[in-house]
Amino acid sequence: MGILDLFNRTPTPAKFAKIVMQAARERGVDGPMAFDAQNFRIVLGKNDVINLHHFYHDYCQAPRSGRDEVVSRYSHLFVRVDIPDDFAAARKNLLPVLRARTFLQAARFAPLLDPDVRDSRHAMADFSEDTALLLAYDTEHLTRILGASHLETWGVSLEEAIAIARDNLRDLAVEQFVQISPTLFASDWNDAYDSSRLLLADLAHRVAGPRAVAMVPTRGRMLLSATRSKGDLLALLQNAKAAIDQEGRRVSTLMYEFVDGQPVPYVPEDEEVASLLADLRRIALQEDYAEQKQLLDQVHDKQGVDLFVATYMLYKGEDDRIFSVATWTEGVEALLPRADKIAFVAMNDAGETRNAGVLDWAKVAAVAGHLMQPEPDSYPPRYRVKQFPALASLGL
């Protein structure tokens, strides 16, 4: 029985990793390879990692008859192709990619978790509140995100490389969109660069006109609305949420418009649309903060640091509106997530805890902001708190 014959039912994550590693061996991978269960990834040697989250998601979503194809489709992850040191040889393979900013977290924390891991800073530019613009070296069998060291080797600026990558993207193929409704369109390239086409304002205008509003909810989906009516924006948002639920690989939960040829965040004027868009953002942040907390807890445990990483919690009010809450506990040094509200937990003389009240973040920051120090280079943002505020000053 071949390895692909084993894909006859949904395996546990550990079993899945074992199957994937065996498949890699059958494809000629003969170097050191280990399963990192805590981070659900395969480590090749010391510096190369293959994250399994999306691989596993696509496998579980595929019908049993299509699971062999999923393994074949992901087999390129085990191919290691050297990127040319000569920029003239590499430039034709540069393409821009948009990624959720949390994509950068694993690279940031990797050297802290393993001193043998080399500096893995990406060549990146800030794009929006929740999204980063990176560069990829793309071949028929491999897409590799570039590090800052590649640009240093080439002697090329980030701005120059991005401009070249954007031109390469424009030359890939003519527009491919399906029309969901008379005024709503969805990309249909399916080449892993659908979301990157947000960078091509001329493309958006050709498809959806001069007042186009876009969303890139996942790597494989770009959505366009030709109008800014409440109905069309609600439909745009509904399709974005469905794409995230079904496809994974979230990129951005923002809406974008095009100003002077550049995509910039668009804030809907309609209150209902703005509220639902904010809810989608909160749900994404809950996932991002949970991933961040896991990484921070691992780093603190390795370094012997006693620092509590607070959870970003979501609740639904009586009006069915979603809001986020972080807990600030007396006597505990902590990293608080940026939430809508802060719940205070105080200590009595006997060392017992009591709920002291819940306040809006803005009110707390106005009175006790000096006690909330932003954590450097932290996304999603966190604030270090060491001293508990005087509750009377907050009206509690």
Six-digit token string for 205: 């205008």
H-helix or E-strand spanning residue 60: helix 53-61
Residues of the chain with confidence (pLDDT) below 70? 1-9, 27-28, 45-49, 65, 72-73, 75-81, 115-120, 140-142
- Tokens 């902590």 belong to 334
Give a three-class secondary structure readout of 315-384.
Answer: EECCCCCEEEEEEEECCCCEEEECCCEEEEEEECCCCCEEEEEEEEHHHHHHHHHHHCEECCCCCCCEEE
H-helix or E-strand spanning residue 2: none
Q: Where are the beta strands (DSSP E) in 24-156?
A: 33-36, 41-44, 48-51, 94-100, 124-128, 131-138, 143-145
User: Residue 290: how many CB atoms within 10 A of its CB?
Assistant: 12
Give the C-alpha separation, 169 to 151, whole Å. Answer: 19
Six-digit token string for 334: 């902590």
Q: What does the pLDDT read at residue 121? A: 80
Q: What does the pLDDT read at residue 47? A: 58
Residues in Cβ contact with 47 at an 8 Å cutoff, skipping those fewer than 6 apart: 116, 117, 118, 120
User: Residue 190: how many CB atoms within 10 A of its CB?
Assistant: 10
> How far lies 237's CA from each of 215, 216, 243, 252, 394, in Å?
8, 10, 10, 12, 38
Nearest Cα residue to 381 out of 22, 102, 47, 181: 102
CA-based R_g, the chain, Å: 23
Q: Is the pTM of this model over 0.85?
A: no
Q: What does the pLDDT read at residue 35? A: 85
Residue 374, preceding bond cis, omega within 30 degrees? no
Q: What does the pLDDT read at residue 339? A: 98
Q: Which residues pair with 383 in a beta bridge?
A: 336, 374
